[in-house]
Amino acid sequence: MHVVATAGHVDHGKSTLVRALTGMEPDRLEEERRRGLTIELGYAWTALPSGERVAFVDVPGHERFLGTMLAGVGPVPAVMFVVAADEGWMPQSEEHLAALRTLGVRHGLLAVTRADLADPAPALKDARDRLAEAGLGPAEALAVSGRTGEGLDGLRAALDRLVAALPAPDPHAPVRLWIDRAFSVRGSGTVVTGTLPAGRVEAGDELELDGEPVRVRALESLKEHVESVTGVARVALNLRGRVAPERGRALVTPGAWTTTDLADVRVTMAAGARGPLPARLTAHIGSASVPCEVRSLGPEAARLRLARPLPLHLGDALLLRDPGRGHGEPRVLARATVLDVRPPELLRRGAARERARALADASADAVSLLRTHLLLREGELVAMGCPPGGRPVAAGWHADPDHWSALSARLPEVVRRYAADHPLEPGMPVEAARHELGLPDRRLVTALVRPPLAVADGRIGATGGVPTGTAGLPAPVARAVRTLLDDLARAPFQAPEAGRLAELGLGPRELAAAVRAGTLLRVADGVVLAPGADARAAALLARLPQPFTVSQARSALGTSRRVAVPLLEHLDRRGLTERVDEVRRRST
């Protein structure tokens, strides 16, 4: 299926032409038929000579309903521009063309209607020139009459050629279906309609509407029940969910879009419009029409704060309109191309100018996004419409290459400073490094570690892990530990008393550092021995008659009960001894 929207001045025969092509009545409201004026969007469809089916979105031409016209044209890839031969180019013709140009519509054809009432040649030439100037250059131009049928066969053939030239939409693209009608059907519940520009929707799919899950119970396309539909297509979806859909809302693939009320954009002024932009405008995208505040950042850059969040991707085009302008003044003012859907705060003096310079070089891709945000998860990039091309640096995180290189260069200096400030610690905690580098995930820190640094026990230190001996200790602590080890060499199981430890300057922090460095063995609080003392004690105890008591162990080791009891408990934990009963143990 293909979808084509109409455009043109009020009462130039758009609905009459659609009726003649399809045999269907596109004006669906009684008031529309009574007044002969399209007020709401109308829909009709037909088969072309090739067998391809085309659906028409018939839009109102009256200036008061420009917003409704944009709701119909927004999601549609091609347009049939209509000009009446007896009236020629008119004000709403110009405004519709300005809107199409600003939206970036580049595929269409020209139908000059009422060829039975006036010579169509002047209107054909004038309109063709205007469309060419607006970027619809190769558009075919035909004279027709919806009343007599003159030229309709040629128009159908031209429509065939138009739809054959349209770019093929991506069937695997994430769904964003802008709702243009919502209503209830007895026995079925909520039904919405819209134009699906790309992607695929199937019965049973779960989509999101304003962040809430909804399920597609059933779907129709051109009044036919179908199990699935691929864009571009006109669809009606029967939904199940706790939502109240309305025009301008969008059904989206979960996780595939960034819903935001703040966006940085590149501004391209519409033909005939002059800047600067007013501070309050209406932004149009798809069928959405949302008031917004405009903060100018530079000549071609602005920040939009939307009255409600919209699901956006980088590269999306919003049309900025001033509905309050007087008759004859251009109301379509600019195209706003989305460059960031999570823009940074502008807090410092001059931040807006810096941001404008950054946006001047920005593009709608992951590389540009990472220059601003430095680090983003893969899912965030996908939801912004910019799937990353390269591999993540760690755990699904992608980084700006220059920023990642700078972090790699900073880490050794950060670790060195930490070691100088905390000489008793064996290395810098990974969490402390994360905080110092301003990183959002500990896994990014470990991914930055390169020799001669290494990670051991949650700390970053020299390659090889935790240092051994006294070399890793500050000189005063190392001297005290060597003196203590000399004492223990003479009496291996005579753990020093608190007074001796204080005399040597070995407080809790120093002892903890020595234990981490592997130069002392901690048996219990305040009880330290030389490394390997537990293995030597186990060997001595194995020579005793089994089982043995604490008193027998104390005598064999030549130590006090203060040391013997925690030492035996330590040996139990290591599996070198085991309890037989309340008072006896045996070697294992």
What is the CATH number for 417?
1.10.10
Q: Under 8 Å CB-to-CB from 324, ≥6 apart: which residues?
A: none
Judgement on whether residues 154 and 203 belong to the same structural domain of the protein: no
* pLDDT for the residue 33: 46
CA–CA dist 527, 496 (Å, integer):
7
Dihedral Cα 545, 548, 550, 556, nearest 10 deg: 10
Is there a single domain that holds both residue 7 and residue 145? Answer: yes
Whether 247 and 270 map to the same domain: the answer is no
Instruction: Give the CATH number for residue 73.
Output: 3.40.50.300
Q: What is the pLDDT of residue 228?
A: 95
Q: Is 420 inside any structural domain?
A: yes
- Judge whether residue 35 has pLDDT over 60: no
**Whether residue 209 is found in the same domain as residue 242:** yes
- What pLDDT band is residue 137 in, cutting at 50, 70 and 90? low
Same domain for 13 and 146? yes
Q: CB of 285 within 8 A of CB of 319? A: yes
Single residue among 212, 234, 252 that ends a domain in this structure: 252
pLDDT score at 526: 87
Quickly state the pLDDT bin for 206 (edges 50, 70, 90): very high
Question: Which residues are CB-neighbours of 224 under 8 A, at least 6 positions away?
Answer: none
Q: Quick one: tokens of 446? A: 């470990």
Looking at the structure, do residues 195 and 97 belong to the same domain, yes or no?
Answer: no
Q: Is residue 474 part of a domain?
A: no
Confidence (pLDDT) at 60: 64
Collect all residues with Cβ–Cβ distance below 8 Å to 545 and sequence separation of at least 6: none
What pLDDT is recorded for position 410?
94
Looking at residue 151, its pLDDT comes to: 93
Same domain, 146 and 191: no
Answer yes or no: is pLDDT of 24 > 70: yes
**What confidence score (pLDDT) does residue 235 get?**
92
CATH of the domain at 228: 2.40.30.10
pTM: 0.77
Say yes or no to pLDDT of 27 above 80. Answer: no
User: Residue 541 and residue 519: Cα distance in Å, rounded?
Assistant: 24
In the chain, how many H helices and how many E strands?
Answer: 18, 31
Mean pLDDT of 174-199: 90
Q: Is pLDDT above 50 for 36?
A: no
Nearest residue to 159 via CA among 19, 48, 23: 48
Same domain, 238 and 149: no
Question: Residue 418: inside a domain, yes or no?
Answer: yes
- More confident position, 492 or 63: 492
The band of 463, judged by pLDDT with boundaries at 50, 70 and 90, is: low
Is 217 found in the same domain as 77? no
What would the pLDDT profile of 332-351 be if each residue is shown by its tens digit?
A: 889 999 999 999 999 889 89
Res 289 pLDDT > 50: yes
**Greatest mean pLDDT range, 129-133, 470-474, 531-535:** 531-535
Which residues constitute the domain of residue 559? 532-588
Domain count across the chain = 5
Same domain, 23 and 141: yes
Is 417 part of any domain? yes
**Strand, helix or coil for residue 438:** coil
327 pLDDT exceeds 70?
no
Cis peptide before 547 (omega within 30 of 0): yes
pLDDT at 468 over 70: no
> Of the candidates 214, 267, 232, which has an alpha carbon nearest to the alpha carbon of residue 56?
232
329 plus 439 within the same structural domain? no
Is position 506 within any domain?
A: no
Q: Confirm whether 266 is domain-assigned.
A: yes
Residue 61 — pLDDT band, cuts 50, 70, 90? Answer: very low
Neighbours of 287 (CB within 10 A): 26
pLDDT of 570 > 50? The answer is yes
Which is more confident, 328 or 514? 514
pLDDT digits (tens, 9 = 90+) for 73-130: 767 788 899 999 998 998 888 888 888 888 888 889 999 999 999 999 999 999 998 8
Of 436, 462, 488, the one marking the end of a domain is 462
Where is the domain boundary, 390, 424, 450?
390
What's the pLDDT score for residue 38? 45
CATH number at residue 572: 1.10.10.10
**DSSP letter (8 states) at residue 168:** P
Is 489 part of any domain?
no
Question: What mean pLDDT is predicted for residues 280-308?
Answer: 94
Shared domain check, 156 and 24? yes
In a domain, 377, yes or no: yes
What pLDDT is recorded for position 34?
A: 45
Average pLDDT, the chain: 88
Inter-residue contact 17 to 128 (CB < 8 Å): no
pLDDT of 434 strictly over 60:
yes
Predicted confidence (pLDDT) at residue 464 exceeds the cutoff of 80: no
Write the single-letter amino acid at 340: D
7 or 383, higher pLDDT? 383
Q: Cα separations (Å) of 451 from 411, 464, 465? A: 11, 10, 11
Confidence of residue 474 (pLDDT cuts 50, 70, 90): confident
